[in-house]
Structure 1
Amino acid sequence: MQVYFLGTGTSQGIPVIGSDHPVCKSHDSKDKRLRVSVWIVCDNQSFVIDCGPDFRQQMLTSNCTQLDALLFTHEHADHTAGLDDIRPFFFKQKKDIPVYAHHRVIENLKKRFDYIFETENKYPGAPNVQSFVVNNNEPFNIGSIEIIPVEVDHSNLQVFGYRIQDFVYLTDVKSINEIEIKKLKGIKVLVVNALREEPHHSHFSLQDALDFIYLVQPEKAYLTHISHLLGFHEEVQKKLPPNVFLAYDNLKITI
Structure 2
Amino acid sequence: MKVTFLGTGTSQGVPVIGCECNVCKSLDFRDKRFRTSIHLEINDVSLVVDTGTDFRMQMLRAGIKKLDAVLYTHEHKDHTGGLDDIRPFNFSQQMDMPIFGRRQVLDQIQREYSYIFSANKYPGIPKVDAIEITENPFQVNGVSIIPIPVLHYKLPVLGFRFGDFSYVTDANFIPDESLKLLEGTEILVLNALQKESHISHFTLDEAVDMAKKIGAKQTYFTHISHRLGLHDQIDSELPTGIALAYDGLEFTLD
The answer, yes or no, to whether TM exceeds 0.5 is yes
1:123 shift after superposition = 1.2
Count residues with an aligned counterpart: 253
- Partner SS for 1:51: coil
1:138 shift after superposition = 2.2
Separation in 2, partners of 1:123, 1:30: 40
Separation in 2, partners of 1:105, 1:24: 31
Amino acid at match of 1:52: G
Does the alignment pair 1:127 with 2:126?
A: yes
Amino acid at match of 1:155: Y
Task: Identify which of 241, 245, 248 aligns with 1:250.
Answer: 248
Task: Identify which of 217, 224, 237 aligns with 2:222.
Answer: 224
TM-score in terms of structure 2 length: 0.98
Match for residue 190 of structure 2? 192
Match for residue 17 of structure 2? 17
Instruction: Give CA-to-partner distance per residue, 1:74-129, whole Å, 9 cap, x none.
Output: 010100000000000001100111000010010000011011223x2211211211
Does the alignment pair 1:233 with 2:231?
A: yes
Separation in 2, partners of 1:138, 1:217: 23
Amino acid at match of 2:117: F
Contact 1:184–1:216 (CA<8 Å) still a contact in 2? yes
Separation in 1, partners of 2:175, 2:207: 15
Does the alignment pair 1:91 with 2:91?
A: yes
- The percentage of aligned residue pairs carrying the same residue is 47
Supply the RMSD in Å over aligned alpha carbons: 0.8
Unaligned runs of 5+ in 1: none
Instruction: Give CA-to-partner distance per residue, 1:182-224, whole Å, 9 cap, x none.
Output: 0011111000000001111100000110110111000100000
1:42 shift after superposition = 0.2
Amino acid at match of 1:149: P
Match for residue 29 of structure 1? 29
* Segments ≥4 residues shifted beyond 2 Å: none
Contact 1:91–1:127 (CA<8 Å) still a contact in 2? no
Unaligned runs of 5+ in 2: none
Separation in 1, partners of 2:120, 2:77: 27
TM-score in terms of structure 1 length: 0.98
1:157 shift after superposition = 0.4
Separation in 2, partners of 1:143, 1:187: 22
